[in-house]
Structure 1
Amino acid sequence: MTSTTETNGLDKLPIFTEIIAVRHGETARNASRVLQGHLDTELNETGRQQATAVADRLFREPKVAGIYSSDLKRAAETANIIANICNLPEVRKTATLRERNLGDIQGLSSSDATKLKPEAYKIFVSTNRDGVIPGGGESLNQLKERSVSCFERIAKKHKGIFLLYTTQVLIL
């Protein structure tokens, strides 16, 4: 009889990359209900406090190994606050983690968008995943394709690691 170590099949399980999604902190524009999309806005004081609160919580999470962020200021600042408090390596920034490009309605409030760009706003609030927002905007499917391909690249690069991503930041 041959002696073998029983693994109950655990050795055949795939190695997963765990990802935590964290939304960027508040900005003056989203506090005033402006549709930001790809606008490059900074955090306000409330947003910095929010990022610090998340970082304080994540500091107690021993598995966090790294962080990814969109290249937009609000996401990068959120990520940098978290990285500094959690003693994480340098934040990796990428445009592929940006929010949806809102085209013609970027920079408008919802009420202004309904009046000034009604067709673009209609597409924005629609459940039609293929509707592209005029003025260089994206459809929900385009956003999904961009985001999923980015997550897949990151997960493949960091197998078995715990990442954080702030919309638009990713923490390993």
Structure 2
Amino acid sequence: MAESHSSDASFSSIQPDCTEIIVVRHGETAWNADGRIQGHLDVELNESGRQQAAAVADRLSKEPKISVIYSSDLQWASETAQIIATSCGGLEVVKDPDLRERHLGDLQGLVLREAAKLNTKAYMAFLSHSTEQEIPGGGESLDQLYQRCTSALERNE
């Protein structure tokens, strides 16, 4: 048993030929604060979101080596990424539309607490546990979101 434990210890550290991915959620927007559904709609960070991004940037600037930053091309994500990139030595931000959040179709722009009343069909599709369920109005299924984001990661590795 002791031999098995000591051989397992080699898996606890990151190997030099491995890539570590740090995932950061964007800072807050006015729409987030209002409970409004963004999806692919382009909204900028609010002041609180900029402060959140600066706090994460300060923390990540202490990491030994961040070599690249990828971001959605939407304002709230790319501004968050740019704040981090500047703090981490002026790295370039690679913007990729395939890293956007889930497209939420007819729900985009609605306040979540009102969505069930305003568009019941889209709201029920959003709540569905089926990974194949698309949201009316051009919204993605969870499978489509997974495929899009996975393709982006594989393309950018």
Equivalent residues of 1:65, 1:88 under 8 A apart: no
**Displacement of 1:33:** 0.4
Report how many residues are paired.
145
Separation (CA, whole Å) in 2 of partners of 1:82 and 1:14: 24
What stretches of structure 1 of length at least 5 have no aligned partner? Answer: 1-7, 156-172
Cα-Cα RMSD:
1.6
Give 2:148's match in structure 1, choosing from 141, 146, 155: 146
Q: Specify every segment of 5 or more residues in structure 2 that has no aligned partner in the other structure, as ranges.
A: 1-6
| 3-state SS, counterpart of residue 30 of structure 1 | helix
CA drift at 1:23: 0.2
Does the aligned pair in 2 maintain the 1:25–1:47 contact within 8 Å?
yes
More strand by share: 1
Q: Which residue of 2 aligns with 1:158?
A: none
Q: Which runs of 4+ in 1 moved over 4 A?
A: none
TM-score (norm 2): 0.88
Higher fraction of helix: 2
- Shift in alpha-carbon separation, 1:14–1:53, aligned structure 2, 3 A: closer
Deviation at 1:14?
9.0
Q: Which one of the candidate residues 105, 111, 128 is aligned to 2:113?
A: 111
| Residue 17 (structure 1) aligns with | 19
Q: Which residue of the partner structure matches residue 86 of structure 1?
A: 88
Report the Cα offset of residue 89 of structure 1.
2.1
**Structure 1 residues 14, 86: closer, same or farther in 2, change over 3 A?**
closer
Cα distance in 1, alignment partners of residues 93 and 32 from structure 2: 23
Percent identity over paired residues: 59
1:113-135 CA-to-partner distances (Å, cap 9, x unmatched) read 10011111111111110000010
Q: Which residue does 1:124 correspond to in 2?
A: 126
Report if the CA contact (8 A) 2:72-2:99 is conserved.
yes
Letter in structure 1 aligned against 2:32:
N
* Contact 2:96-2:152 at 8 Å conserved across structures: no
Q: Which one of 38, 47, 50 corresponds to residue 49 of structure 2? A: 47
1:46-78 C-alpha deviation (Å, 9 max, x unpaired): 000000000000011012111011000000000
The 2-side partners of 1:144 and 1:60 are apart by 31
Q: 2:75 aligns with which of 73, 76, 80?
A: 73
Residue 61 of structure 1 aligns with which residue? 63
Which one scores higher on RCO, CA 8 angstroms, separation ≥ 6? 1
Shift of 1:85: 1.1
